[in-house]
Copies of this chain bind each other. A is one copy, B any other.
Amino acid sequence: MQDVAQLAGVSVKTVSNVVNGYPYIRPATRARVEEAIVELGYRLNVSARNLRQGRTGMIGLAVPELSQPYFAELADLVIQAGEDAGVTVLIEQTGAQRVRELEVLHGERRQMTDGLIFSPLALGEEDRTEFAVHYPLVLLGERIFRGPADHVTMANVEAAYAATRRLIELGRRRIAVIGAHPGETVGSAGLRVVGYERALTEAGLPLDPALMGPVVAWHRSTGADAMERLLAAGTPIDAVFALNDAMALGALRALSARGVRVPQDVAVIGFDDVDDARYSSPSLSTVAPGRLQIARTAVELLMARIADPAPGRPFVEVVADFEIIERESTGSAVAAST
Contact = CB atoms under 8 A, between A and B. Distances in A.
Interface in A277-316: 278-281, 283
A81 interface: no
A103 B37 CA distance: 10
A91 B67 contact: no
A220 interface: yes
Given A93-B79, A103-B38, A280 B278 contact: no
A79 B65 CA distance: 10
B253 A283 contact: yes
A99 B34 contact: yes
A336 interface: yes
A69 interface: yes
B278 A35 contact: no
A185 interface: no
Interface in A89-117: 89-93, 95, 98-99, 102-103, 106-109, 112
Nearest to A61: B91
Nearest to A77: B67
B220 A276 contact: yes
Nearest to A283: B253
A109 to B, nearest CB: 6
A56 to B, nearest CB: 8
A3 to B, nearest CB: 16
A217 interface: no
A321 interface: no
A75 interface: yes
B35 A102 contact: yes
B47 A98 contact: no
Given A38-B106, A109-B90, A224-B338, A66 B58 contact: no
B109 A257 contact: no
Contacts of A112: 109, 112
A299 B307 CA distance: 37
Contact of A280 (B47, B73, B106, B253): B253
A39 B106 CA distance: 8
A31 interface: yes
Contact of A31 (B95, B98, B249, B250): B98
Contacts of A239: none
Contacts of A257: 281, 335-336, 338
A116 B69 CA distance: 24
A216 interface: no
Contacts of A276: 220, 249, 276
A63 to B, nearest CB: 10
A252 interface: yes
Given A99-B37, A336-B257, A72 B79 contact: no
